[in-house]
Amino acid sequence: MFLSHPRLRDLTPTQYGAALDWLRREGILQSAGSTPAALSGKLAGLAVLRAAVAGAEPTWLLDADRTIRSAHDLPLDVVSAAEALGLGANDAVQVIKTVWGKVDTRARAALGAAGEQRLVELLTDALDAEVLHVSEVSDGLGYDILAGCADEALHLEVKTTNRRGRLAVYLSRNEYEVMCTDSEWRLVAVLLDDSGWIAGAGTVNRRWIAEAVPVDGSAHGRWESVRLDVPRAAVSPGVEGVRRWLRPQAAGGVLDSGTIDGLPAPQWLGAAQ
């Protein structure tokens, strides 16, 4: 049939077999149903496009939250794939948003855990103070690391990035409310290099955070989490407040000056806007 039917000769039987194996491997046959009607419907088309984009992980997917906001922003190959699957451009936009959200959530979780651990190690080596990774015990305190002495301590909420020129952080309502009542709370942005080590650190200005978060419009609506795109002007070099415990050999380093390649933290952490 694949060799004789005019509509099926665009691919070889081997290519059709590989496609069938891919559909099974991605679970699309099971999720969309096994009948011809189900497999040719919109549900199957969405599943195929979603699996294709997620599997390819194109470079533009990293910034899809900013670069693809409407059908006009779609890459041409995605438009062609959507049309071949009987989908509209708006369907494709929603698929990309879904895939980006899942990829971003997984990546942020892994990167965040790595950044916290590296900062704990760096603080432990550099400070004459106690350092506790409190988020490993409880994630409800509103911060990740406690650093200090018996009568005074910093409470560090850590946000990690591995990208220069853009600092997007997610702040929970609980973290924000702790900031409002805790004078020792700091939002620390950490940059990890390709090997997973800290290349720089900066502290995000509290006043800027307070001005940037949403405002509840009424008692019937309440924000619980917000993404903040932090500009350079809102970031100061190093981890604010640690200098009092800094060992002499650590002075001038990442915790103190926040430098990377000789550039101060604002030059690499946040965008220029």
CB-based burial, 12-45: b 16+ in 10 Å, e otherwise: eeeeeeeeeeebeebebbeebeeeeeebeeeebb
Q: Which residue has the higher pLDDT, 179 or 263?
A: 179
| Closest-CA residue to 202 (of 172, 228, 175, 240) | 240
Q: What is the pLDDT of residue 38?
A: 47
**What are the pLDDT digits (tens) for 225-264?**
999 999 988 998 899 999 999 999 888 888 887 665 555 5
pLDDT average, residue stretch 5-34: 66
Q: For residue 177, what pLDDT band results from cuts at 50, 70 and 90?
A: very high
Q: What percent of the chain has pLDDT over 70?
A: 84
Sorted by sequence, the CB contacts under 8 Å of residue 119 that are 6+ apart come out as 145, 156, 158, 188, 190, 198, 201
Q: What is the pLDDT of residue 270?
A: 56
AA letter at 28? I
**What are the pLDDT digits (tens) for 185-224?**
999 999 998 888 888 899 999 999 999 999 999 989 999 9
Q: Which residue has the higher pLDDT, 6 or 230?
A: 230
**What are the pLDDT digits (tens) for 160-172?**
998 888 889 999 9
Measured CA to CA in angstroms, residue 81 lies from 30, 40, 45, 155 at distances of 21, 14, 10, 49
- The model's pTM is 0.75
For 86-91, the CB contacts below 8 A with 24+ separation are 86/40, 86/42, 86/45, 87/42, 87/45, 87/46, 87/49, 91/42, 91/45, 91/46, 91/49
Q: What is the pLDDT of residue 109?
A: 86
> Taking 70 as the threshold, does the pLDDT of residue 6 lie above it?
no
> Taking 90 as the threshold, does the pLDDT of residue 268 lie above it?
no
Q: What percent of the chain has pLDDT over 90?
A: 41
Gap between the Cα atoms of 43 and 232, Å rounded: 43
- CATH number for the region 127-269 comes to 3.40.1350
> Taking 50 as the threshold, does the pLDDT of residue 37 lie above it?
no
> Taking 70 as the threshold, does the pLDDT of residue 36 lie above it?
no
**What are the pLDDT digits (tens) for 44-75?**
788 888 888 888 888 888 888 888 889 999 99
Domain assignments of the chain as residue spans, ordered by start: 6-102, 127-269
Please, what is the average pLDDT of the chain?
84
Q: Which residue has the higher pLDDT, 178 or 257?
A: 178
Q: For residue 265, what pLDDT band results from cuts at 50, 70 and 90?
A: low
> Taking 70 as the threshold, does the pLDDT of residue 174 lie above it?
yes
